[in-house]
Structure 1
């Protein structure tokens, strides 16, 4: 079973290792989707939505919202942001009955990435 929670945050970035308009400073209203895979516990929940919200806010939203993401990671593409989010949440969401399954980072309404913890070398600091 998959539990899903969606978040939004506003942030600015520029892609220094990119040739095109995105190398200039600009911003997005990002959509972040966190997917947890698991089985319901004795309370009938994979993880409490409120608890998931609190963890994601503390570990991710409070850091990225209204930030200049280049000060947090190198080359802050949607791909690198997804890896960074995964690293911040993976251990916090590891339980006997569930684990982090997927991170989605959407830069625009129709452009985003999905990351499921695959090992990718050299993607973020």
Structure 2
């Protein structure tokens, strides 16, 4: 059985080595769909939606209205520090694919119920574009 829940947040980023407009500082209204697959628990649920919300919202508090910056992007990092802006410093460029992997790893490293067999994350950078990845849990 699978269940899914949708989440939204606002976040800025840039791709410093990009050949087009994404090399500029900009932001997106991100949408994420998180899917859990597993057996039904004693309450006849894969996982309670309330518990999903608790797990994800704690992660999104860090990202919402922040700027995701690669630790090697010294110019933007220095600017964000001077401005005392909310930032998430990562060791990758903030592509939709990398944000998807980042969120999948963060979610799968939380304490999930034993009946959960896999987690899938889909990150929409725009309403038309998304990256998706999944992870089987042991």
TM-score (norm 1): 0.87
CA distance in 1, matches of 2:115, 2:96: 29
Shift of 1:19: 1.2
Using the alignment, how far apart are the partners of 1:108 and 1:29 within structure 2?
7
Work out the CA distance in 2 between the residues paired with 1:101 and 1:112.
Answer: 16
Match of 1:88 among 106, 115, 119: 106
Q: What residue number does 2:60 align with?
A: 61
CA RMSD of the aligned region, Å? 1.5
**Aligned position for 1:110:** 128
The count of aligned residue pairs is 117
Q: Which deviations, in whole Å up to 9, do the C-alpha atoms of 1:82-104 show, x marking residues without a partner?
A: 11101111132543211442110
Q: How far 1:36 moved relative to its partner?
A: 0.3
Q: How far apart, in 1, do the equivalents of 2:107 and 2:95 lie?
A: 18
TM-score, structure 2 as length reference: 0.79
2:37 matched residue in structure 1: 37
Instruction: Give the secondary-structure state (helix, strand or coil) at the position aligned to 1:31.
Output: strand
| Largest Rg, 1 or 2 | 2
In structure 1, the residue matched to 2:50 is: 50
SS of residue paired to 2:22: helix
Extract unaligned runs of 5+ from structure 2.
Answer: 70-87
